[in-house]
Chain A
Amino acid sequence: MTGRRVVITGVEVLAPGGMGTKAFWELLADGRTATRGITLFDPTPFRSRVAAEIDFVPEEHGLSPQEARRMDRAAQFAVVAARGAVADSGIDIEEFNLCRVGVTIGSAVGATMGLDEEYRVVSDGGRLHLVDHAYAVPHLYNHLVPSSFAAEVALTVGAQGPTGVVSTGCTSGIDSVGYAAELIREGSADVMVAGSSDAPISPITMACFDAIKATTPRHDDPQSASRPFDGTRNGFVLGEGAAVFVLEEHDRAVRRGAHIYAEIAGYATRSNAYHMTGLRPDGLEMAEAIRVALHEARMNVDEIDYINAHGSGTKQNDRHETAAFKHSLGDHAYRTPVSSIKSMVGHSLGAIGSIEIAASILAMKHDVVPPTANLRTPDPECDLDYVPLHARDQATDAVLTVGSGFGGFQSAMVLARPDRRIA
């Protein structure tokens, strides 16, 4: 089974600023931002009151009233994105051995929104320690265990192969797709519907990020609140969304005449073994993940045309990551455009890694590198080319995308045009 290559043949993105892959790409290419004052709940008591929200009406996206009721918002995103990705790929799942069609969905915080809401009810506004089961909704169990997201996707697309949720904090979105690619490569699956989803804009999430001062308190100017690599940045902006892909074994995708967006050429994840929320300034573990991903892709560092950064907009991250690129790519780091789309769509925790994979493959499709919005006052310690403000036309055949998450996870994925020269 060695030598099996994995390609992306379908994609759907639900991101703030416009639904669907097309609207998502237009936002990025225009360098527009989708961050704003929070509307999903009253943010008045909170330190940070800015987020990147999706204007999402489940019924407008084909969800039945029953589906909308039993699924947390993040599960709804996942299902809508999965249906879109399958449609985009033109694949007929029924033509496959269904036990070789699987699903992986990444999510950092699962049904946090649903849990927050239902806890208020069963605890009578936080008063009862012995919460009251008589007020529990029947689908509370599905909020308890986020694998329900993957189950909903498997049911909706008809998959009967390996199915699960990957939950590695803010690298979930890369790790979910990387895990799916490994299953195809080793021969355990032929098709994987893989991606990630999170809808964390709820009081409990805002409160815990307030407590560690990780999110920006910039309320006066929400549209430019997310400022990765900028000297005036002061925390990330929480986002929400989903991106789901159809992954197929390369030869079979070619035989069926599928449109191939990109090959998942290499992937690796490593841990910093340092701190649940902190990063070592040297970025060595992320650098190791990048090195291994490039090795798996059998590519040299100078073949990377664009780096899609984690770029969360915390000082700690931006410097950590800059160091990691220099360690892993050497001089090529200075010659390679690096950008963070979190400047535009916020940080949707477990979802963003997949959304960034989508941005990466769309950059290849359009030969355009998306910008880092709001980057007007460069941090002198971040001295790479971060593509400030405006997208850039550039031939793009291979992209490195990275993520960094609570728990110490550092992940890297190399995406490339499948018809590039194989070493």
Chain B
Amino acid sequence: MSAAVVVTGLGVVAPNGLGTRAYWAATRAGRSGIGRITRFDPDQYPARLAGEVSGFVAEAHLPSRLLPQTDRMTQLALVAADWALEDAGIRPQDLPAFDMGVITASFSGGFEFGQGELANLWGKGSEYVSAYQSFAWFYAVNSGQISIRNGMKGPSGVVVADQAGGLDAVAQARRQIRKGTAMIVSGAIDATICPWGWVALHTSGRLSTREEPSLAYRPFDEGACGHVPGEGGTLLILESARAAADRGARVYGEIAGHGATFDPRPDSGREPALRAAIELALADAGVDASEVDVVFADAAGEPHLDRVEAQALVAVFGPFGVPVTAPKTMTGRLYSGAAPLDLAAAFLAMEEGLIPPTINVDPVADYELDLVVAAPRPAELRTALVVARGHGGFNSAMVVRSDPNAATRPAVNQ
């Protein structure tokens, strides 16, 4: 059995709270960050609501030399990384450079920056395109910029698996720690709320066009009608349990298990692979379904996808077998940032012993889910499951637990 990998720091930027404390205060109280788009005039578009991160002033946190060369998502990510390191009590300059890595998920890259440079190219001429375009919009930019800012020379990487990639990145970080790297910054931050990004998101056919924030994103509800996009996410500090213990670090919990699958062709007649991903994550963690205390659902907000998820959860946990929640009803879907934010929510929920609510939802009865709606639910939480799915068929599931010392049973062999 491989050594435990634990989370010792969180850096949260979310539409309903900037910073871990603000996010959790809003989330446990069911406070939403969804509203009409302010970053551009959305009047002409069918969807006009988003979960925007408000109150973020990049100049207040980052050197001015970095600002012209970074997209908003990178600015958010650099600050989230700073906060996560600070939360973990780690000063990167004190650690050997090759012992620190950065593995993030990406979704659309620096899309707003890209829109600006495409506008320069086609509106003015190729000589107007910025030198920074060569990296500011590409998918690897957050990992690269975080490693440079913090002097981290260890294993780095970037995975893209639509909205499931955030968990895959954390799993890859865990893999590298097991191979010997002391600490890795992992997770994802996304921000695609610009006109060009909005139009591209629109073509997914999954954006909610409801005008009322309380009616727009209602996963598992009769009125499910798509989702509201959001921006932000979470960066986490992962360390080996031993390294964390040696330096007396506060531990949020353990990354205990992961499973990732891809759906068969819809016309194949085969079962969607989400259930398999969940079962693989449980097996990897050496956890029986009955030990899971709460599930943070993917909560697509599309009736057919909600049904697939409900069926998978019922197949694994039984009807009404485990409390399920979707705090992303308060933030919108943050694409690759969504699942890392759910990991943060899971650790914070376990810490307080409180399941945050799913807001605006009255669950369809025949989904047979024990959805925590309206109000938070106190509960003793030791083990949580986070589920993430991406457009096209990506499934990823991760088991986390509050006490790494609970990891004493051998992993169930696959």
Contacts and interface: CB of A to CB of B under 8 A. Distances in A.
A273 B133 CA distance: 19
A370 interface: no
The bracket for how many chain B residues form the interface is 35 or more
A143 B200 contact: yes
A115 interface: yes
Contacts of A168: 140, 143, 156-158
A266 to B, nearest CB: 12
A151 B260 contact: no
A133 B155 CA distance: 40
Contacts of B38: none
Interface string B313-337: 0000000000000000000000100
Contacts of A46: 126
Interface string A3-33: 0000000000000000000000000000000
Interface stretch (B201-209, B243-251, B340-348): B201-209
A231 B345 CA distance: 56
A143 B192 CA distance: 14
Interface stretch (A201-209, A256-264, A354-362): A201-209
A380 B135 CA distance: 31
Nearest to B202: A133
Interface string A90-128: 000000001110110000111000011001101101110
Nearest to A125: B122
A175 B391 CA distance: 23
Interface in A392-415: 405-409
A140 B203 contact: yes
B358 interface: no
Nearest to B134: A208
Contact of B140 (A119, A151, A211, A409): A409
A134 B162 CA distance: 24
Contacts of A378: none
A144 B197 CA distance: 8
- Which among A115, A147, A148, A211 has the highest number of chain B CB atoms within 10 Å? A147
B98 to A, nearest CB: 6
Given A109-B138, A145-B108, A212-B134, A167 B158 contact: yes
B263 interface: yes
Interface residues of A, number: 87
A73 B115 CA distance: 21
A99 B159 contact: no
Contacts of B220: none
B414 interface: yes
A46 B391 CA distance: 37
B196 interface: yes
- Which among B121, B164, B205 has the highest number of chain A CB atoms within 10 Å? B121
Contacts of A138: 203, 205
Interface stretch (B57-65, B144-152, B374-382): B144-152
Contact of B138 (A125, A144, A169): A169
A127 B157 CA distance: 36
Contact of A165 (B40, B134, B144, B160): B160
Given A136-B200, A166-B157, A275-B148, 14 more contacts: A45-B126, A98-B264, A99-B261, A110-B160, A133-B202, A140-B199, A140-B203, A147-B161, A161-B261, A163-B260, A165-B160, A167-B106, A276-B141, A407-B147
25 contacts: A115-B114, A116-B118, A119-B196, A123-B119, A126-B120, A129-B119, A130-B44, A133-B203, A139-B203, A141-B391, A144-B108, A151-B393, A155-B393, A165-B159, A167-B138, A207-B121, A208-B131, A270-B154, A271-B101, A272-B153, A275-B148, A406-B135, A406-B138, A407-B138, A409-B144
